[in-house]
Structure 1
Amino acid sequence: MRMLFIGFGVGVAVGAGGCYLYLSAVKQPELRRGGRAITLDENHHALKFGAPETEIVRQYEGYIAAYDYRTRNPKWVLEHITRDSSSGDAKRDGSEFFPDPGVEPRFSAKLSDFRGSGYDRGHMAPAADFKSSQKAMDETFSLVNISPQVGAGFNRDYWARFERFVKELTYASSDVYVMTGPLWLPTRSQLEDEDGGGGGGGGKGKGGKWTLVHDWIGKPPGLVAVPTHYYKVVVADPRGGGEPGKAPARDAVSPLAKGAVAVGAFVMPNQPMDARSPLSAYVVPLEDLEQVAGTRFFPDLLGEPRRRAALDTAAAGWRQEGLAQLKPFERLSMKQALAALPAPGSGAADVETSTVSTAKGASSSSSSPSRPAPPPAPKTPEGAGVVHICDVNACQLPRVDWYLPNGSGAGNGGSGGKRRAAA
């Protein structure tokens, strides 16, 4: 059993580490305020036979999605949820998956592509976010909102808890905006190039070549690409009259209670994940995520450089704190963990020291149940007008058995909670 957990932990570490290794190696350009999408001049001489069409944007009652013709996946799905929209009597029992009639069939995924593929039909905008309207819930089953996800250990477990985490933000913030989508991230054949930096070498060091490997499902030529990772960018805006101070922002001095907008970006590998892994280990900087996703997120809120810099500073701090917890959680040697999960802005020696200290602190506090450890300190620099989501609630996921009426008492230490059967 111990070897099983070690192998499981190594897989999760490699998946998450591959994500960070790639993100951290991308060269950062100077941030510039970009313009909106270009409107083509229909009289341009090159457009005699029309402009090429590579994706389509579809609007439903509860969400908007950009659908990529090449991968047959949503490129991004944008939703706005509130306490009211995520509460109600709508049920998914009678909902059925369907191809969007606005997408030309030869560019669309098909229901048959998923049958026997080994992957779930994973929602980007969860059905449970729209319980106030049966129509809105039913529309989340459109294939423009669906992407192939690993089922056990991910879609039905860790990712489901993450979705619940986001939904619970509506109890502390009047409005929550969520952008979700797939990623295809390459891995490097060797961790370091010849300059020893692990980044910036352009793949020209010894063995430093980037390679993308991922599955496809369906039948050619209309294959559906299976993402290697998924992302969410979450904005909790309490300024619209919500009820601050309630879960998950349990403290009256919470930034949300004071009216600050909270933002967080997360990337997770499309593979089984240990339920004990801290959510903060999957925090990523906005700047890096936008480059690999090829998308600017919430530009009217996050276009100001000082805001982005403050959020990315906090992201680096929260991620390092999350990575430090992976040693006791996954029972890996530090050498294994650091090989796949280099912490942002630190060398291996610095991270190992930090990790040992954190692990000892956790052990000490757990032996004194009458004196619980204080919540981690906020990490967003002051004065930017925004805070990181983890500053609000330390990015604590719901317990693994959150979907049960009274909970099973398993707490967060189990191997995973089975929320639903395979889609």
Structure 2
Amino acid sequence: MTKRNLLYQVFIVLFLVSCKETEVAPQQSTVLDGEHLLLGNPSSATSDEGNFNNYLIERPQYALSYSRDRGTPNWVSWYVSKDWLGTTDRQDDFRADQSLPSAWYKVAATSYTGSGFDRGHNTPSADRTKTVEDNSATFLMTNMIPQAPNHNRQTWANLEDYTRDLVNDGMEVYVMMGNYGSGGTGSNGLAQTIDQGRVTVPNRIWKVLVILPEGVNDLSRITTTTRVIAVDTPNNSSISSDWGAYRTTVDAIETATGYNLLSNVDEDIQVVIERQTDRGPTR
């Protein structure tokens, strides 16, 4: 073998070794279990400040679309599993959300005072008890709506308790909650707005739960038999404490709001699960 041929073969070997060492590993999917927008972004909200009535806020604890003009979220989306539940006390540190654009009005902790409406959580305090930071994040006013007291403390509390019962029984739950319309009835009677007209009182409050057994690859595990609970309720004090009486379909909520709630779910599966009204247990 000539010296030239030997050098050529050494070059080939070194080239192949170099290629193997710089091989790029396959990219992992950017859609991960437990992401608060795993099922979709219902209103295609963005974090562009010009999108002031559909402004996307993403936190480690939940994601939401905020309306500057209404002074409330349009919808909030979050995930509940045992990993989010712990023993942290309720922080009760209601406060304005300083992360909003500087020129926007920021609803204050006192904005609901004397209105006859509760500062109603979307993502519940009790769904975020792993750490003080997690629980505290639920008390930002961008996570609140003016909610009739009986609605908040009875009907909605019962549905929230049921959600956590499911989790404690070995399930994981993806939740979306929102509101629409104006005019609710609190302890002081009917009101369209509070806080000198800067916060709209919703007429209807809805919630959708997608329930899965504990596992991995959540999005791919949603099938036509997955239990989906959709609830649409009036925002008033005379509401029944039985949330099951207000069950409806995802399709009906989408028609009322214009949202696409489960847009990341396979379309053929969406067609089936969005048209069904849940008939399962309520406690």
Partner of 1:96: 93
Residues 134-158 of structure 1, C-alpha deviations (whole Å, 9 max, x = no match): 111100001110000111x221112
* Residue 264 of structure 1 pairs with residue 150 of structure 2: no
CA distance in 2, matches of 1:235, 1:75: 19
After TM superposition, list the pairs within 5 Å mapping 1:77-88 onto structure 2.
77-86=76-85, 88=86
User: CA-to-partner distance for each residue in 1:295-347, whole Å, 9 max, x for gaps?
Assistant: 2112112x5245433542x31xxxxxxxxxxxxxxxxxxxxxxxxxxxxxxxx
Q: What secondary structure is seen at the aligned counterpart in 2 of 1:66? A: strand
* Matches of 2:53 and 2:45, distance apart in 1: 15
CA offset digits 1:354-400 (Å, max 9, x no partner): xxxxxxxxxxxxxxxxxxxxxxxxxxxxxxxxxx4x3xxx2323xxx
Question: Does 2:249 match 1:285?
Answer: yes
Relative to total residues, which structure has the larger strand share, 1 or 2? Answer: 2
Instruction: State the match for 1:169 in structure 2.
Output: 166
| CA distance in structure 2 between the partners assigned to 1:107 and 1:136 by the alignment | 24
Choose the corresponding residue for 2:272, options 306, 309, 317: 309
Q: 1:51 to 1:307 in 2, by over 3 A?
A: closer
* SS of structure 1 residue aligned to 2:205: strand
What is the CA–CA distance in structure 1 between the aligned matches of 2:168 and 2:43, rounded to whole Å? 33
SS across alignment from 1:91: coil
C-alpha change, 1:163 and 1:51, in structure 2 (3 Å) is closer
Partner of 2:136: 138
CA contact (8 A) 1:70 1:107 kept: no
Aligned to 2:192: 215
Pairing of 1:219-230 with structure 2 (within 5 A): 219-220=196-197, 223-230=198-205
Q: Is the 8 A contact 1:72 1:109 kept in 2?
A: yes
- The 2-side partners of 1:38 and 1:274 are apart by 33
Deviation by residue 1:182-241 (Cα, 9 ceiling, x = unmatched): 12179xxxxxxxxxxxxxxxxxxxxxxxxxx85200125xx1000111110101122516
Counterpart in 2 of 1:178? 175
Contact 1:237-1:260 within 8 A present in 2 as well: no
The CA RMSD measured in Å over matched residues stands at 3.0
Shift of 1:58: 1.4
How big is the shift at 1:70? 1.3
Count of residues in correspondence between the two structures: 228
Letter in 2 for 1:76: W
1: CA distance, partners of 2:43 / 2:245: 33
Q: Distance in 2 between matches of 1:178 and 1:269?
A: 19
Q: Does 1:232 align with 2:207?
A: yes
Distance 2:93 2:44 in 1: 34
Deviation track 1:226-277 (CA, whole Å, cap 9, x = no partner) reads 0111110101122516xxxxxxxxxxxxxx9x995321211111112233x4
Alignment map for 1:33-48 (pairs within 5 Å): 37=44
The answer on 1:76 being equivalent to 2:40 is no
Matched, 1:396 2:245: no
Aligned-partner residue type, residue 217 of structure 1: I
The structural deviation recorded for 1:52 is 5.4
* SS of match in other structure, 1:181: strand
TM-score, normalization by structure 1: 0.49
Q: Cα offset for 1:173?
A: 4.3
The answer to whether the Cα contact below 8 Å between 2:73 and 2:143 also exists between their aligned partners in 1 is: yes
Structure 1 distance, partners of 2:257, 2:43, is 17
- Aligned 1:285-364 pairs, distance under 5 A: 285-301=249-265, 303-305=266-268, 307-312=270-275, 314-315=276-277
Q: Does the 8 Å contact 1:233/1:264 carry over to 2?
A: yes
For residues 58 and 297 of structure 1, what CA distance do their matches in structure 2 show?
17
**Corresponding residue of 1:332:** none
Q: Which runs of 5+ in 2 are unaligned?
A: 1-41, 184-189
* Match in the other structure for 2:240: 274
Over alpha carbons, which structure has the higher Rg?
Answer: 2
Q: Is this contact kept in 1: 2:175–2:210, CA < 8 A?
A: yes
Q: Distance in 2 between matches of 1:145 and 1:125?
A: 7
User: Residue 125 of structure 1 contacts residue 140 of structure 1 at CA under 8 Å; is this kept in 2?
Assistant: yes
SS in structure 1 at match of 2:130: coil
SS in 2 for 1:113: coil
- In 2, the alpha carbon distance for the partners of 1:119 and 1:185 equals 14
Task: Give the Å deviation of 1:96.
Answer: 0.6
CA 1:126–1:37 in structure 2 vs 1: closer, same or farther (change >3 Å)? closer
- Percent identity over the alignment is 24
Runs of 4+ aligned structure 1 residues displaced above 6 Å come to none
TM-score under structure 2 length normalisation: 0.71
Query: Equivalents in 1 of 2:43, 2:112: separation in Å?
Result: 36
The answer on whether the counterparts of 2:45 and 2:65 sit within 8 Å (CA) in structure 1 is no
- Match of 1:157, SS? helix
Please point out which of 156, 159, 166 is paired with 1:159: 156
* Cα distance in 2, alignment partners of residues 158 and 127 from structure 1: 16
Task: Give 1:61 shift.
Answer: 2.1
Q: Quick one: which amino acid aligns to residue 274 of structure 1?
A: S
SS in 1 for 2:70: coil
| Aligned counterparts of 1:285 and 1:176: Cα–Cα separation in 2 | 17
